[in-house]
């Protein structure tokens, strides 16, 4: 028989940090609201959640790393929206955020979840942050809970 290990959908007694970008807050706020609601739905209490606002997506990895280094934090969820403009700035910020978030996870051996939208248009960002529909903030919360549970079992 093959042994299978997978994360559980609910969790108790673990602390989560959400690092959210203030830039494009009109999208990030939608991601954050759905993320927080989903964490609570999955058994995480208000006093087990810390939200840290950073100026932009470029600043997310440093704060995510610092928070993940804390012994009390089980996982960090990174939320933001990088929307393409007319210059290469989009590419630089999107790549730096993705690589930095991945490095934070590898360095700390904790889940550091990538919930940063990288879209060509504001409409695409809105579509991925629907309050009642598709919302990548909600998905990031689910991933964080399952990964904390999974890593406890390994």
- Could you count the other beta carbons within 10 Å of the beta carbon of residue 151? 15
Three-state secondary-structure class, residue 1:
coil
Task: Report the distance separating Cα 136 and Cα 140, nearest Å.
Answer: 6
* CB neighbours of residue 84 within 10 Å: 15
| Contact (Cβ atoms closer than 8 angstroms) between residue 122 and residue 83 | yes
Apex 7 CA angle, 42 and 140, nearest 5 = 55
Residue recorded with tokens 């999974």 = 150
Q: Using the 8-state DSSP alphabet, how is residue 47 labeled?
A: G
Spot the catalytic one: 10, 45, 89, 152.
89
Based on the residue annotation, tell me whether 89 is a catalytic residue of this protein: yes
CA gap 51, 33 in Å, rounded? 11
Q: Which residues are catalytically annotated? A: 89
């Amino acid at each position: 028989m093959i042994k299978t290990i997978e994360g559980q959908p609910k969790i108790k007694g673990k602390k989560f940090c959400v690092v959210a970008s203030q830039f494009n807050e009109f999208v990030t706020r939608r991601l954050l609201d759905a993320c927080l609601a989903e964490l609570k739905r999955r058994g995480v209490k208000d006093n087990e959640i810390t939200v840290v606002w950073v100026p932009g997506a470029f600043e997310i990895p440093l704060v995510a790393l610092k928070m993940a280094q804390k012994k009390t934090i089980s996982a960090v969820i990174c939320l933001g929206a990088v929307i393409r403009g007319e210059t290469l700035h989009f590419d630089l910020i999107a790549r730096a955020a993705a690589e930095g978030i991945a490095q934070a996870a590898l360095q700390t051996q904790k889940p550091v979840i990538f919930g940063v939208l990288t879209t060509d248009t504001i409409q695409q960002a809105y579509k991925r942050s629907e309050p009642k529909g598709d919302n990548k903030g909600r998905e990031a919360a689910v991933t964080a809970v399952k990964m904390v549970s999974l890593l406890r079992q390994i």
